[in-house]
Amino acid sequence: MNNLLTFFIEEPNLIFSERAECTEPQGGLYLYGPSGRYADNKPNPIISDVGIVGTSKSIGATQTFFEYIHRVIPSESVGRLDFPGLGINNKLLFDIKFDEQWIEIINDKEIQQGNEMDDRLKRIDYFLDLIDKKMLNIKKKGEPDLIIFSLPEEIIQLCKNPEHKGDNIIITDRRFKKELTQEQIKGDFDFHSIIKLFGMKHNIPTQFIKPKTLDIYRKIGVQDLATRAWNLSVAMYYKSKGYPWKIAKLDPFTCYAGISFYREVDKDKHSMRASVAHLFLHTGECIVLTGEPFEWDDPSVEPILTTEQTIILKKKIIKGYEEIHGELPKRLVIYKKTDFTEDEIIGFKENEDKSINEIDLLTVKYSNIKWFREGDYPPPRGTVIKCPNNEFLLFTLGFIQDMNTYPQAGIPSPLRIIAYNLDSDERKMCREILSLSKLNWNNINYCELFPGPIAVSGIIGKILSEGRSKKIPIKTEFRFYM
C-alpha cells in the first residue's frame, strides 16, 4: 500500500488599494478599499453611469434598492461583514448614478401586447426584441458604463415554463437527442444568456436583477440584504472597469488558461462543438477566446481536440497574452475539467517560436471522496494530499482559519488534480490553484471550489452556445459575461 504525502499551502494574499494585502476579499475591501481602475490601478473613486430597462415598477424598485444601500447594512450571515454602504466617500470608493436619459420603460401597453400572444415562445421572442430595442435606445443617447435589466414580474409570469419551479426563464432544453426540435435548431435557450449577448451587441455590460433580489425586506429564498448589497456592488464595480482585488505573487510572464467546450447549433450539422479559453493574467485581465468549431458525433462523450486544433487554440492564447502585454509569455498553465489526450498534449507542448519555457497541463476535477478529521470542522483549506501517478487532492474548500469556521453546509471534497505535464514545482502549482479560486468578482465569497479560469467556463459556454451569438461580434472582456 502506498503512503500518501500530505502538505499544506498557506492562504494566498490578495491586493487591494495602495497595494495593501489581505487574505480575505471582504475584509480587504472593508479595510483598504478596492484595487483600482483597469488602466492605472489607482484607488480613485468610480462613479458608474448606469441605465435601466424595466417596467415602471421594477425600475422604481431598482432605484429604491440602490438608494437604500448607501447606508451601512448589518450582516446576518456567519463570517460576513456589514456592508459599508455605496458612495465615493465610503470604503468601496464606488457609487452609481442613474440618469433619466438612460432609463427605458416597458409600458403597460407593451406588456399587454405580449399578454395577448397565446404561445409562450412567441411571447419570449417579443419581449427579447423589445428589450433589445430599449437597449439600443439607451445607446443612441450615449453609452452608460452599465445597463441594469430589472426583470419585471409580469415578464416572468408570461415567459417562464409553468412546469419549472423558480423564476428562471428557460426557453428550451439544452439536452440534445439525435433529432433536434425546431426550438433547439433556432438556438434560443436561456433568457438571461441572451440579455448578455445584447450587452455585447451594444457594447455595454449588463447586470441582470430579479425582483426578489430588490426586495429589501425579504428574508426567505434570498441571501441576506448585506450579502446582496456586497455581491451587486462588487460585480458592478468590475463591470464599470475597476478591479475589486487582484492576486498577489503570481508570475508576471505566466498565462493561465481554462479550456472548456460548448455546443454550437447548426441545422445541417447538429454536432458542432467549439472550444473556449478563459485566460487570466497576473495584471488582473480576464479574456475570453474561442477556438474553431469542429464536428463531434457523440454528445454523450466529452469532446477532445486534435493536435492541429490544439495548436491553433494555443496560438490564439499566446496572441491574446501578447496583445495585452506587448510580449510573449514564458510559461503557460492550461486547466481542463476533462483528461488530456495524447494529441492535446502534443499540441500544447508544440513550441515553434521557442517562447514558452515551461508548460503545465492540469486536469482539475471534482472528487467525491469524503475526508474527515477529528473535531468539529473539515480539513483546512489548503490541505494537499499527494497521490501516486502525479495526482493531487487539494482542498480549495474547507475550514478557513481567517473566519475560524467552515462557512458552508455539508462536507467539502477536495479537487482532484492530474498533472499530465508539470514543469513547475508541485507546491507552486497547488498555490496557484488556491490563489485562482479567489477570483470570482461576481460575489463576495471567500473562495470558490474551482480556479477562476475554469470556474465560470460553464457560464461562458452557455452564453456562446446561444444561436444569436453568431450574429454579433463576440467580446473578449469577461465583464460582458458576468
How much is the pLDDT for 268? 58
Are the beta carbons of 294 and 313 closer than 8 angstroms? no
Residue 271: is its pLDDT beyond 60?
no
Residue 373: is its pLDDT beyond 90?
no
Nearest to 465 by CA among 258, 276, 287: 276
How much is the pLDDT for 1? 45
Task: Give the pLDDT mean for 51-61.
Answer: 97
pLDDT tens per residue across span 394-420: 999 988 888 777 777 778 889 999 999
Are the beta carbons of 381 and 11 closer than 8 angstroms? yes
Residue 37: is its pLDDT beyond 90?
no
How much is the pLDDT for 251? 86
Q: How many CB atoms are closer than 10 A to CB 118?
A: 7
Binned at pLDDT 50, 70 and 90, residue 266 comes out as: low
DSSP-derived 3-state class of residue 430: helix
Residue 383: is its pLDDT beyond 90?
yes
Of the candidate ranges 48-57, 66-75, 157-166, the one whose mean pLDDT is the lowest: 157-166
How much is the pLDDT for 18? 87
How much is the pLDDT for 137? 96
Q: What is the percent of the chain where pLDDT is above 70? A: 93
Arithmetic mean of pLDDT over the chain: 89
Are the beta carbons of 481 and 459 closer than 8 angstroms? yes
How much is the pLDDT for 269? 57
- What are the CB-based long-range contacts (under 8 Å, 24+) for 297-306? 297/271, 298/271, 299/176, 299/263, 299/271, 302/261, 302/338, 303/261, 303/273, 303/275, 304/338, 304/341, 304/343, 304/344, 305/275, 305/341, 305/343, 305/344, 305/347, 306/343, 306/347
Alpha helices in 116-163 (DSSP H): 120-140, 153-159
Nearest to 217 by CA among 407, 60, 61: 61
Q: Is 422 left (phi over 0), alpha (psi -120 to 50) or beta?
A: beta
pTM given for the model? 0.92
pLDDT tens per residue across span 201-227: 999 999 999 999 999 998 888 899 999
Task: Give the pLDDT mean for 145-153.
Answer: 96
Nearest to 364 by CA among 393, 400, 386, 399: 393
Domain 249-471's class?
alpha beta
Nearest to 127 by CA among 137, 140, 138, 113: 113
Residue intervals in the chain for CATH 3.30.420.10 = 249-471
Q: What is the percent of the chain where pLDDT is above 90? A: 59
